[in-house]
Structures are given as C-alpha cells and as structure tokens.
Structure 1
Amino acid sequence: MHASVRTAAPLTGGQPVAALLQLQRPNGDPVLPSDLIEMHKKKIHLLIVDSSLTDYHHEHPVPTRNPGEYSFSFTPSKPGSYRVWEDVRPYPLGLQEYAMTDIPAATTGEPLTNRTVIFKATVDGLNYELILAQKTIQVGRPALARLRITTADGNGFTQLEPLMATFAHLVGFNQDYKTVIHMHPKGAPVLDPAARGGPELGFQIYALQPGFVRLFAQVQIEGRSRFAPFGLQIAP
C-alpha cells in the first residue's frame, strides 16, 4: 500500500495544520473505507511523530468525497517534517500493514539525542510505570509487561476511560525512524463507555528491530488523551 500526505502549507510548530491523506494500492487503485477492516473502532490509525521522537500524535482520518482520500488535522510542537505511519488491515486477509510517509516542513527537524532507558513518567499529576517481566527485551521474542498508574500519594488509579475499545494503547518508534510497534492490553474489548480501568494493564511487547525505542502509553482520563513517554533498549 502506498501513502502520501499533503498540506496547504509546510508544517509550523505550534500551528494547527489540516492535511489530506491519499491511500493507494500497488496498482494505483484508491483504497476505499470498504476495503479496510475496522480495528479498535477505527479503520485507519495514524501514528505521527517528529524526528526527535518526542512529539507523538495518534489521529484518525475521515474519508472525503474523493476516492482514497482522507482528511485529518493535528498541531505539531516541534520543527521539521513529521513522519506518519498508516496502520490498517485491508481485506481480504486482514493482515496489519504500515504505510509510511512524511509531512513536509520548511524547517529542519531535531535529531534524536535522548536515548535514556526510562520506565517511569509523571503526566498531569499521575505516575506511570512500565514493569517488565524480564530484564532484557530481545528482537523476535515476546516480552511481558505491565503498565501501572498511580496517584501522587501512591494509590492505584482506577478511572481510566475506554479509548477505542481498550483502556490503553502502547506505540513505540525505533531509533531507525522506520520501525513502529503498536500494542494493546490483554483481554476482551471494552465496549461499555461507562467502564473504568486501572491501575494495572498487561501487555506483550514484540520488537522487530534492535536499538532504542521511544514508547508512548496513551490513556484517556476525563475525556482527554494523556501520553506517557518511556525509553526502551531492544537487544539483538
């Protein structure tokens, strides 16, 4: 699958941008919504990040009147172009595919300089911790992990709201700026909007490339997404 994104003007940090995504099959045919299988309540998940792997966005484009064209918007906070991965499952096989493209900017992006391995983050007064079942994550070997969220006084936080039929999403970007991983908690889909989750969620991490990975945990609290960043080192 081929993807491209165009905007009316180059990206500018701090300025909202409206963008159009074009999806095509290898033969040039447009990819229609009916060609895609819904996953976690959406047919297309856009995983967007800058070159320093610090400003992450998870967007869901909507179809326009033009076949194969989808619109979305976001507000970059960093200079330079952003890379976007289109996470889709096309019919008939339903295999997960990532089509990658760049959103251009007139400025130069920042390099990846912070490769610190970190398993704890604090966001909006809540503490997030990624707990691994083993010391080392290796390429091609499933690794069990838990995401634990606590309040400032150390109590478990149990008010996670459903976000795309689950209580959290983990998305990681490798230092090669090409490889992405997208994971969800174990268990059945969360379909009741009144359901609440926490303080711990279990995941399985499966890495395809060695090196540093910036991992983001996305949860929803009081109707708003929160993103907690972690740093992992994947062994060969």
Structure 2
Amino acid sequence: MRYFVNLSNIWLVGWLALAFTAAAEGPSVMVCGADVVTVGDAWTKISLMQNEAESLVAERKTDAFAAKTTAILVHLRFMEKNAIMVVGRRQKTLQRSLRSAESLRDEMMRLAHEGEVRSLEERWMELKDVLKLAAAQFPDEALMSTERFAHLLPPVKPILHIQMEPLTELEPGQPLRLKFQMVHLKDLRPVTEADLLLTHGALLHAIICDQSLTDYHHEHPKPTGKPGEWELTFVPRFNQPYRLWINAVPKETGREEFAMNQISLPAIPGAVAENQIALTVKTAGLSAQMSWITESPPRAKAINRASLKISEAEGQVVTDLETYMEAQAHIVGIHEDFRTLLHVHPEGPRDDEGPEIRFSFNPPQTGFYKLFVQIKRLGTIQTFPFSIRVE
C-alpha cells in the first residue's frame, strides 16, 4: 500500500514529529486523557473549555466554573512540559504564563467559594489573556490538533488490518450491509473505538470503489457492539470487483494509514473502463473545472498544484460551499493499479484567491488516476470524478 504525503507542507513535519514524540512519553499523557497526544490537542481542549467556562460563569455556576478552570490548568501544564519547540525568551514567557495562570486559578477558586461573581469575572478575563499569551509562544503549526496533521506525517509501518470474506456476487442497485473486523496486525486484537483518534468527524473513513474506477463511495463505518466489528451500508452499481480502503489514525502511532481488502470477486488486471483525461465534470446542475497551477501534465514524485472552480449551469461561480468533513472539499485519487490511493487535503481558503479550491498532491507513480472531489452545498454532497494522467 502506498501513502500520500503533501510535500508542500513538509516543513511542518519536523515540528509535528517532535511534538508527537514528546507527548508520547511520560505519565502526563494520561492526566489529560488518551485523546490528548500533542500540545495541539491540549490547546484544542483548552479552547473548548474556555467556551464552556464562559457559559458557566454567565450562569453563576461557580463550583462548576472552578472545576473547569482547574482542567484548563492541567492542559496548560501539559503544553508547558511538552514545549520542546519553545526555547529561549519564549520558553521563559511560557513558564511565567503558567505561574500567572496558576495564581489566578487559586484566586478564582477562593472567589468562587465566597460567591464573589463580579471579581470572579474580572479574574477570568485576566486568565484568558494569560492563556492567549501562552499560546502565542508556540509556532502556529504546533497548535494543530492530531487529527488535523496526521496526514502530513510520513507513514509508519501499518498496524491495522481488515478481516472479511469477499462476496461472490453483488446485486446492483440494492443496499449492501457490509460487516468487517478491524484488528491489530501484530496480535490480531480487535480495534475498538478507544484505539482510534477522531479525524474529520469520524473514527473510520471507508473508501469504496469498483475496479473500473466509476462507482465511488465514501462511508463512515459504525461499531456493531462486538469488539472489533464494524459495519457500513452502500449501494453498488455493478456486479464486479469492488475494494474497500479503511482510513484511520490509531492512537498508538498517531499516523494516518489505509487498510485494504477485497469486497467482491478477484480483481482483474487492466480492467479500468476508460482512461481519457477529463478536467471538466458536470453533475446535478453544476460544472467543476480543474486547472493546473504547476506544469501540465502532472509529474510523478513531484509536488503538483491544482485549482478547482465550481459553477452553476448559467456560468456563475459557486461561492456558498459548506464545510464538508472540516474542509472545503474531500479529495481521493485512485490509480489504475486499483491499489494506490491518494488522500488529498485542500489548502485553506485565502481571500486573495477568490472562490477557488486549491490542493497539492505528490503521486508516487506514473499512469492514469481518477480524482474524486466531493463538495457539500445546500446540504447535499456531490461528487465530481476527474480523470488525469501522470507522467
């Protein structure tokens, strides 16, 4: 199995790998919970708890508010302890911020006990400023949560495996309820919800496609209640070979990986239905146009950048796309070998670029690829299948 790493972001990898390594060591990891792996995870928790604390102090729930500020301090200590990317003057500022936060927390505990709500609110505003100062000592990339940067890190040796019996035939147009077992490769232990990090709103992402690279599905499997057993439902269009890729980030490694298995029938070499380049796709009253920012055609083992514009039938550019899986779009590329899969993350929208979706990808080999771009608009998910050839 091949993996995709967006090399345009490779400068981030050093920071992120260091952050992960530091956070993976020491007993403090469990103090904040198993889902707090890096300083970015801790900052995400602090941000969420600040919102909760705001509501508690507004509702005069002083006891609960005091407990929430204690939890915030626990996560701030985690950040300070694992701040290996913060040195010199920034490190000293971070340490002073932690001491100030602890002092403010102690005073707020007293004020909460005495019911001094007005003074409590004042100290809370001071604590918010201290937290903001502490966060400012970290580089922006260090404050990214694990689920946001897992795809940027180089792959490690896969530890997940799918166990399932391939079906002999499929019924086109009929819903298929698919069950499978996720296990650890090393000892075949069941993979449960507790073993996985939440990424883009789900623990597991299932990519399903037939060998003609025509019938593409993205589903989110759910646990059945049996240890390691998961299930999903999809409607196949054909009775021909289909494959299942499971995208997940195990807590054990913090790295994205794709387990693969056959759903039905053995794969037939060279069974791609068509291989003509198609950079304009129309579906459901919309037209999507892809253009290359870097050289065309795209190159294997190189950073290729592309721009995508979506228009209505009348030609007006669509500017009201909704967030889909925490991004402007979701993009998956599948090679004609029916094995290589590219998981592509769009770049963040920029005001100076207009209503475009931009993305970069580094295909590992030459040949024909189908790029399935999914967007969400007016509550509906639409899929645009582009066809490209990499040289």
TM-score (norm 2): 0.54
Match of 2:174 in 1: 15
1:185 to 346, 349, 358: 346
Q: How does 1:205-216 map to 2 (within 5 A)?
A: 205-216=361-372
Match of 1:4 in 2: 163
Displacement of 1:8? 8.5
> Matches of 1:233 and 1:9 in 2, distance apart?
32
Taking a change above 3 Å as real, the CA distance of residues 19 and 151 of structure 1, as seen in their structure-2 partners, is same
Taking a change above 3 Å as real, the CA distance of residues 110 and 123 of structure 1, as seen in their structure-2 partners, is farther
Match of 2:241 in 1: 81
Whether the 8 Å contact between 1:2 and 1:23 is mirrored in structure 2 is yes
One-letter amino acid matched to 1:116 = Q
Displacement of 1:4? 2.8
Whether the 8 Å contact between 1:5 and 1:19 is mirrored in structure 2 is no
Whether 1:151 aligns to 2:315 is: no
1:50 to 204, 210, 217: 210
Displacement of 1:229? 0.8
Match of 1:171 in 2: 332
Taking a change above 3 Å as real, the CA distance of residues 6 and 62 of structure 1, as seen in their structure-2 partners, is farther
Displacement of 1:95? 1.3
Whether the 8 Å contact between 1:45 and 1:87 is mirrored in structure 2 is yes
Provide Cα deviations, 1:140-159, integer angstroms capped at 9, x if missing partner: 21111111101112211012
One-letter amino acid matched to 2:346 = P
Which has the higher relative contact order, 1 or 2, with Cα contacts under 8 A spaced 6 or more apart? 1
1:224 to 380, 384, 390: 380
2:194 to 12, 24, 34: 34
Match of 1:194 in 2: none
Match of 1:139 in 2: 300
Provide Cα deviations, 1:123-144, integer angstroms capped at 9, x if missing partner: 1111101111121322221111
Indicate the percent of aligned positions where both proteins have the same amino acid. Answer: 33
> Matches of 1:83 and 1:180 in 2, distance apart?
11
Q: How does 1:104-123 map to 2 (within 5 A)?
A: 104=264, 111-123=271-283
Whether the 8 Å contact between 1:11 and 1:81 is mirrored in structure 2 is no
One-letter amino acid matched to 2:232 = F
One-letter amino acid matched to 1:68 = G
Displacement of 1:24? 0.8
- Whichever structure has more strand as a proportion of its residues is 1
One-letter amino acid matched to 2:327 = T
Displacement of 1:47? 0.6
> Matches of 1:105 and 1:13 in 2, distance apart?
14
> Matches of 1:226 and 1:6 in 2, distance apart?
31
> Matches of 1:142 and 1:110 in 2, distance apart?
27
> Matches of 1:109 and 1:5 in 2, distance apart?
22
Displacement of 1:199? 3.3
> Matches of 1:110 and 1:14 in 2, distance apart?
25
Superposed CA RMSD: 2.2
Match of 1:191 in 2: none
Whether the 8 Å contact between 2:248 and 2:256 is mirrored in structure 1 is yes
SS of alignment partner, residue 372 of structure 2? strand
Displacement of 1:10? 4.0
> Matches of 2:253 and 2:362 in 1, distance apart?
21
> Matches of 2:379 and 2:225 in 1, distance apart?
30
Whether the 8 Å contact between 1:52 and 1:110 is mirrored in structure 2 is no
> Matches of 1:111 and 1:8 in 2, distance apart?
19
SS of alignment partner, residue 209 of structure 1? coil
Whether the 8 Å contact between 2:299 and 2:366 is mirrored in structure 1 is yes
One-letter amino acid matched to 1:126 = L
Identify unmatched segments of 5+ residues in structure 1: 189-197
Whether the 8 Å contact between 2:191 and 2:227 is mirrored in structure 1 is yes
Whether 1:68 aligns to 2:228 is: yes
SS of alignment partner, residue 194 of structure 2? helix
Match of 1:233 in 2: 389
Provide Cα deviations, 1:13-69, integer angstroms capped at 9, x if missing partner: 111110112111112111111111111111111110001000000000011111111
Whether 1:98 aligns to 2:254 is: no
Displaced runs of 4 or more, over 3 A: 5-10
- Whichever structure has more helix as a proportion of its residues is 2
Whether the 8 Å contact between 1:10 and 1:104 is mirrored in structure 2 is yes
> Matches of 2:269 and 2:303 in 1, distance apart?
33
Displacement of 1:109? 11
> Matches of 2:250 and 2:385 in 1, distance apart?
30
TM-score (norm 1): 0.89
Report which of the two structures shows the higher radius of gyration computed on alpha carbons.
2
Provide Cα deviations, 1:92-149, integer angstroms capped at 9, x if missing partner: 321111110011259x999213100111000111110111112132222111111110
